[in-house]
Amino acid sequence: MPRMLAISLWIPLLCILNSFSIADASIGPIDRRSQLFRNNKSHSSNNIPFVVAAPKDIPESSASSETSKSKIDATLTKYHHHVPRGGQDKIDGVIRVVGTVTQTLISCGRAILPPIFACVKGIVNFYRALPIDAVIAQVGLVYCFAGGYYPTLFSSLEAARHCGWEIAVEAVKDLTDEAIKVIDATADLPRDAFERKEIFLQQTNIVLKTVDPMKINQAAAALYTTWLGISTVLEKEYARVINLSMTLAGFFERIAHFILEPPVKMCISQDYHKWVPVVIGWIAKAAAMNIAWRIQRVLTASTSAMVGGVMFARALFRMISRKGFRLFGLIREDDTESPLDEIVGFTVGGFGFWTQIQTQYKNGFTFEVPFPFNLITWPMDWAERWIQWQITK
């Protein structure tokens, strides 16, 4: 019995020793074992799954190991750049567009707003230093020689005097001050060392810290309220023009549909036939508005020329009277009207109306300011077209 127990204990021990010997034979000598340990350690430090390196004397296994490593690195690099990030690309695109628009507006404001603000401030200070009659005389000349060019703009200025002119001017001044604050605050912001997203976030932070939201809100409300009053007055004043343009648009649209719609549909694909009536309607309305406003410009040119001429003459004679000149008693000492005022006023007004009509007769009564004066008056041209569209639409 003891002998059988000893044999049963030695048999597992021999099996274990035999397994160790087989493992030693497969791995190789001790120097190869240390090399294998170093290779495995280097692979583990690179965060790559465990790959058993073969001895140097087997080139096929070494080549396959290097190939596997390169494939693993390529796969990890590929998926690292294509990991979905929850719409980050769309957010970056929006930030890029908004940042570009913001930077463009700030750059334009930095280049335009300060000189415009300085020029307007200088002009206002200059006219405030002049006598009131001198200002009235100059306004009369503008009405006399340019009344047909900007009928709705001049009417808007006249209506604004009774609909909150002082409030609107103060609101524009407040908005300009806030814009200049933002421009000055973002002037020294470095842009080379930051990405577009960081620049946009910094500019947004500066705007939120710099501007006064209550002042901007009050200024915008004041401008909107003033414009509501002005537009109401203009719609009533130019109701005949609006009615004429709508009537002409109805006639033009019916004629255009009868004449233009069939040949246009023959020239285009059937998929686009639904657009033909709509486009023809737009063209008819635009042509009707153009004709109606040209007629109104001629009427406004005549009336504004007469009113402007009389304004100029009376203001001029008031200034002459204050200097002590009487012109053989034709100019009265008081401010009462005299026949001389009307004679000079109607003469100047007739000359102004004749000048406008002669100029516009050559240009087809487009009432466009000739070159090079349009380089200065283009803001008023845009304002005139915008007001016409707003009250006619």
Residue extents of the structural domains in the chain: 2-59, 140-160+238-392
Q: Where are the alpha helices (DSSP H) in the chain?
A: 2-27, 30-45, 59-81, 88-129, 132-146, 151-160, 165-185, 196-210, 213-237, 239-259, 261-267, 275-322, 339-362, 374-392
Percent of the chain residues past pLDDT 90, beyond the cut: 0
Torsion (CA) 256, 258, 259, 264 in degrees, nearest 10: 90
**What's the pTM?**
0.54
pLDDT tens, residue by residue, 251-300: 888 898 888 888 888 888 888 888 988 898 889 888 888 888 888 888 88
Give the model's pLDDT for residue 44.
Answer: 45
Q: How far apart are CA 364 and CA 361, in angstroms?
A: 5
Give the model's pLDDT for residue 23.
Answer: 43
pLDDT tens, residue by residue, 368-381: 777 777 787 788 88
Residue 223 has pLDDT above 80, yes or no: yes
Greater confidence (102 vs 237) lies with: 237
Q: How far apart are CA 94 and CA 87, in angstroms?
A: 11
Residue 214 has pLDDT above 60, yes or no: yes
Give the model's pLDDT for residue 92.
Answer: 59
Residues in CB range of 244: below 8 A, 6 or more apart: 292, 295
- Nearest by Cα to 51 from 79, 75, 71: 71
DSSP 329-356: TTS-SSS---HHHHHHHHHHHHHHHHHH
Burial of 146 (0-12, 13-18, 19+ CB in 10 A): buried
Q: How far apart are CA 200 and CA 30, in angstroms?
A: 63
Residues in CB range of 239: below 8 A, 6 or more apart: none
Average pLDDT over the chain, rounded to an integer: 72
Q: How far apart are CA 65 and CA 44, in angstroms?
A: 14
Q: How far apart are CA 40 and CA 54, in angstroms?
A: 10
Label residue 64 by pLDDT band (50, 70, 90): low
Q: How far apart are CA 249 and CA 238, in angstroms?
A: 17
Residue 186 has pLDDT above 50, yes or no: yes
Residue 47, sorted as left (phi over 0), alpha (psi -120 to 50) or beta, turns out to be: left
Q: How far apart are CA 313 and CA 327, in angstroms?
A: 14
Query: What does each C-alpha distance from 60 to 41, 75, 253 come to in angstroms?
Result: 21, 23, 85
Give the model's pLDDT for residue 79.
Answer: 46
Greater confidence (192 vs 33) lies with: 192
pLDDT tens, residue by residue, 89-117: 556 566 666 666 666 766 666 667 667 76
- Sign of torsion over alpha carbons 275, 277, 281, 287: positive
